[in-house]
């Protein structure tokens, strides 16, 4: 095995091929070959493409057990064609670069005739005889280029936020692809402003002026980053360009709402404009809107970012609103000094950032709700005691239409996950590891063995993504401490937790006493696990699921089983819990803490999807698909659903992924990959739906 940067590769014998692994983000891609192939390392710059590491093999064919989409480029790098599911393409002898959008970015460079064919489950690439193929891989993992120190002064914070766009890899409309948006510089709170050299925003000619108030600086961060804009103090909230264009941000909707609207409008129209320069990309949203738009997208493609901005904002938002994708994240950030340190991580997800419009929730009502729920059910809870008086401060952020809600601040949120800068930084500090993804299940209560037995078969390996599952029962305090200190990608805990910690056969174990943990993510399916979970984050974990009070055992089993299955399908923590919430009345007791965008495994198709099926009569069904963004497939990603006759791409998390299908067509779709399905308000699974519900 060779290791350069975060990428490694290893040869396999049965079946023969090469496995390429991103050791930071725990994702991989298998390249099957007709006979065993020996990788020979080469310098990454020999490929003339942005890759982290490279090697050559000798082979007559390569088969990828998925359909990632393949761009065939000529020697100059121009895209000749794009191959999707069900398509075939042959090219005469020449030099080609085949770009594959797998969980890792792969480039295959070869001097040969090339033939590419696909079906619903694989992509096969054949060469003329045995050829030498140079293969380069690029991790999608991003690291910030530096750290800016800022004071509490809003004008200093404006300077700090202005450095974010130094991470953009282009100012053309292609920056709407998440792979061309680098991670913004980090921010630390300090006594004096300090901006390292090299963190200079690009020359876009765009400036955003705002009154020097913290709430405006926070809210504008994602927009300033995406526009490559400098932020400076001014009496009137306004966007200015060097060409004389002005756009006021103090609309009747309010400054924060107008900033959000501009961000969504510009990214969306960039996605439409960029298809002008992309061979083989037919975008559904462009086809639906282009004829009615008052702007000419082809003419805008080569214009400056300032000219594009002016043209985009001439389009009434109401004319495009129904086609703008559901946004991944709305974050609600409390106005206190330390929360500025989370802003670069939120901007990296292109999150909508709001300062709190939320209400404080009476702690007494939280206590009453928990006890009454227990009494009504008459069932066992995962605690050895009733709820103690809750000393936490609760807040309830305003509900939005985004797929996920995030709270940043000292209080405990209801209806949103709780993010911390510690968790985000822990993710940046994640160290490379090879081998299988490791899942650790701990059941420390014999009466709760039902959940342990149920999930034993849930965490299973996919053909291209092997897992190692360790199951422990009845651990002592020392043994449980050792589990937290042992490397594992995900820990699923089942048992009792109270204010003194985890209950073990020989006493209580308090995770807050740990200096470090080697657990990336966790699910503490026990009563009152919030404080223990936050302690695990502080000791080095990235994210997890915890509870805010007592949870009934029967409901906890249901939630635990559903979350496990969703995580195993590649859903990030936040998305998995949001989908599983419909399964139990106690779901409001569960909360994601830390970085909820962390996924434990990768989905078979690369993007986790949720389907909803509604019978329409005469053996016809309406299928609605929601594709969920991940850390690698953020806002601006395009998807191609494997639906019979579908030739167009759609934007990720589009509002318009609805199809009317026959029984045969929908069964074919359900057979492609195991995914969650909503039917009659129940959470089901595609294999069960195909067999029993249609």
Please tell me whether residues 625 and 580 are part of one structural domain: no
Please tell me whether residues 580 and 661 are part of one structural domain: no
Number of structural domains found in the chain: 4
Among 522, 447, 446, CA closest to 483 = 522
**CA 674 to CA 445: how far, in whole Å?**
31
Please tell me whether residues 268 and 330 are part of one structural domain: yes
**CA 33 to CA 506: how far, in whole Å?**
53
Please tell me whether residues 652 and 615 are part of one structural domain: yes
326 occurs within a structural domain? yes
Please tell me whether residues 119 and 171 are part of one structural domain: no
User: Which CATH number goes with the domain that contains 525?
Assistant: 3.40.50.1460
> With a cut of 70, which residues of the chain have pLDDT below it?
1-5, 358-359, 362-390, 434, 461-465, 691, 693-694
Please tell me whether residues 269 and 298 are part of one structural domain: yes
601 occurs within a structural domain? no
pLDDT of residue 691: 64
Q: Show the domain range for 433.
A: 359-385+421-594
CB 542, CB 25: distance < 8 Å: no
CB 517, CB 541: distance < 8 Å: yes
Please tell me whether residues 206 and 267 are part of one structural domain: yes
CB 562, CB 580: distance < 8 Å: yes
Residue at a domain's end among 562, 594, 626: 594
Please tell me whether residues 613 and 587 are part of one structural domain: no
Element (H, E) at 106: strand 105-118
Please tell me whether residues 131 and 236 are part of one structural domain: no
Interacting residues of 265 by C-beta distance below 8 A, sequence separation 6+: 312, 313, 315, 317, 320, 324
195 occurs within a structural domain? yes
38 occurs within a structural domain? yes
CB 229, CB 223: distance < 8 Å: yes
By CB atoms closer than 10 A (0-12, 13-18, 19+), residue 681 is exposed
Please tell me whether residues 282 and 247 are part of one structural domain: yes
403 occurs within a structural domain? no
Please tell me whether residues 124 and 177 are part of one structural domain: no
Please tell me whether residues 495 and 586 are part of one structural domain: yes
487 occurs within a structural domain? yes
pLDDT of residue 352: 97
By CB atoms closer than 10 A (0-12, 13-18, 19+), residue 560 is buried
Tokens found for residue 578: 């949001």
399 occurs within a structural domain? no
413 occurs within a structural domain? no
CB 331, CB 403: distance < 8 Å: no
Residue at a domain's end among 103, 138, 173: 138
Buried b (16+ CB within 10 A) or exposed e, 222-249: bbbbbbbbbbeeeeebebbbeeebebeb
Residue at a domain's end among 111, 138, 165: 138
pLDDT of residue 208: 98
């Amino acid at each position: 095995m060779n290791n350069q940067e975060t990428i490694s590769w290893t040869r396999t014998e049965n079946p023969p091929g090469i496995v390429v692994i991103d050791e930071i983000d725990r994702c991989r891609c298998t390249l099957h070959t007709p006979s065993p192939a020996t990788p020979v390392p080469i310098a990454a710059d020999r490929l003339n493409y942005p890759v982290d590491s490279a090697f050559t093999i000798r082979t007559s064919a390569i088969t990828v057990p998925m359909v990632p989409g393949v761009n065939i480029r000529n020697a100059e790098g121009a895209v000749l064609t794009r191959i999707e599911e069900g398509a075939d393409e042959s090219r005469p002898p020449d030099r080609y670069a085949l770009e594959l959008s797998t969980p890792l970015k792969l480039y295959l460079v070869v001097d040969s005739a090339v033939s590419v064919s696909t079906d619903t489950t694989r992509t096969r690439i054949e060469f003329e005889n045995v050829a030498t193929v140079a293969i380069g891989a690029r991790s999608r993992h991003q690291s910030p280029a530096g750290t800016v120190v800022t004071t509490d002064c809003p004008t200093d914070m404006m300077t700090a936020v202005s450095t974010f766009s130094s991470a953009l890899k282009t100012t053309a409309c292609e920056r709407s692809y998440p792979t061309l948006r680098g991670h913004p510089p980090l921010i630390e709170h300090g006594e004096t402003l300090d901006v390292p050299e090299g963190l200079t925003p690009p020359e876009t000619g765009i400036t955003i002026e705002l009154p020097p108030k913290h709430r405006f600086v926070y809210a504008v961060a994602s927009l300033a980053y995406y526009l490559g804009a400098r932020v400076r103090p001014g009496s009137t909230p306004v966007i200015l360009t060097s060409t004389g264009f002005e756009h006021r941000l103090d609309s009747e909707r309010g400054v924060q709402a107008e900033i959000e609207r501009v961000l969504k409008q510009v990214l969306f129209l960039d996605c439409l404009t960029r298809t002008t320069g992309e061979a083989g990309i037919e975008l559904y949203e462009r086809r639906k809107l282009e004829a009615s738009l008052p702007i000419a997208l082809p003419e805008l493609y080569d214009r400056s970012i300032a000219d594009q901005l002016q043209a985009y904002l001439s389009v009434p938002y109401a004319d495009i609103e129904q086609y703008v994708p559901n946004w991944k994240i709305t974050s609600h950030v409390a106005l206190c000094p330390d929360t500025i340190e989370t802003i670069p991580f939120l901007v990296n997800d292109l999150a909508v950032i709001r300062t709190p419009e939320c209400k404080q929730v009476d702690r007494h009502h939280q206590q009453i709700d928990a006890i009454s729920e227990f009494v009504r059910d008459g069932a066992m809870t995962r605690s050895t005691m009733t709820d103690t008086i809750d000393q936490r401060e609760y807040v309830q952020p305003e509900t939005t239409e985004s797929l996920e809600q995030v709270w940043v601040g000292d209080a405990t949120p209801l209806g949103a996950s709780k993010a911390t800068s510690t968790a985000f930084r822990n993710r940046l500090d994640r160290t490379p590891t090879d081998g299988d993804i490791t899942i650790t299940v701990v059941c420390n209560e014999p009466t709760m063995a039902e959940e342990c037995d149920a999930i034993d078969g849930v965490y299973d390996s996919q053909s291209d993504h092997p897992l190692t599952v360790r199951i422990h029962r009845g651990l002592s305090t020392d043994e449980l401490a050792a589990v937290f200190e042992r490397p594992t990608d995900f820990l699923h805990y089942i048992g009792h937790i109270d204010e003194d910690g985890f209950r073990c056969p020989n006493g209580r174990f308090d995770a807050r006493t740990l200096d470090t943990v080697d657990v990336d993510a966790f699910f503490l399916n026990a009563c009152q696990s919030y404080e223990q979970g936050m302690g695990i984050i502080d000791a080095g974990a990235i994210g997890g699921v915890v509870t805010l009070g007592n949870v009934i055992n029967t409901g906890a089993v249901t939630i635990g089983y559903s979350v496990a299955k969703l995580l195993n399908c590649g859903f990030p923590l936040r998305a998995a819990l949001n989908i599983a919430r419909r399964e139990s009345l106690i779901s409001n007791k569960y909360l994601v803490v830390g970085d909820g965008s962390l996924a434990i495994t990768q989905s078979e198709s690369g993007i986790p999807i949720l389907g909803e099926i509604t019978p329409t009569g005469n053996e016809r069904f309406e299928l609605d698909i929601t594709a969920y963004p991940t850390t690698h497939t953020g806002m601006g990603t395009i998807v191609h659903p494997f639906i019979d006759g579908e030739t167009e791409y759609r934007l990720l998390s589009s509002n318009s992924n609805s199809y009317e299908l026959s029984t045969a067509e929908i069964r074919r779709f359900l057979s492609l990959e195991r995914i969650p399905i909503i039917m009659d308000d129940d959470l089901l699974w595609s294999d069960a739906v195909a067999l029993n519900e249609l």
